[in-house]
Amino acid sequence: MSTTGRVFAAVAFFEAFTWAGLLVGMLLKYGTQTTDLGVWFFGRLHGAAFLLYLAVSLFAWLRLRWPLWAVLIALLAAVPPLTTVPAEIWFRRRGLLSRSRD
């Protein structure tokens, strides 16, 4: 796997992790009404992870010379919760994370 592919994979997992943290935080805030600390913390963290994932996806598109459909799938995977991980696994299996000059 290329360096860019490894960065994409790491950021995809981090984005999914922050999504999961935000979902747990929302459960605690709205479901059990115990604390809003999880939403406060993971909301900010997930916002940053989301933007980082979008930027890394666009960088990988250029650097790894993905076809247009691949970058569109990567960008769309950031919207539903936890779908960046299956997208990353699929990209890895298709060899999209290893085509690089780096």
Residue 101 has pLDDT above 60, yes or no: no
102 within domain boundaries:
no
d(CA 48, CA 86): 20
Residue 67 maps to a domain: yes
Split at pLDDT 50, 70, 90, the class of 102 is very low
Whether 101 is in a domain gets the answer no
Does residue 84 lie within any of the structural domains? yes
Residue among 91, 98, 65 at smallest CA distance from 12: 91
Is 75 contained in some domain?
Answer: yes
Pairwise CA distance, residues 65 & 5, whole Å:
12
* Total Cβ atoms within 10 A of residue 49: 24
Residue 18, domain member (yes or no): yes
C-alpha–C-alpha distance, residues 42 and 72, integer Å: 26
In a domain? residue 16: yes
d(CA 42, CA 19): 8
Query: So what's the pLDDT on residue 96?
Result: 93
| pLDDT reported for residue 100 | 52
Write the pLDDT tens digit of every residue in 28-79: 999 999 988 889 999 999 999 999 999 999 999 999 999 999 999 999 999 9
Residue 89: the pLDDT is: 94
Domain residue limits at 7: 3-93
Residue type, 80: P
Q: How many domains does the chain have?
A: 1
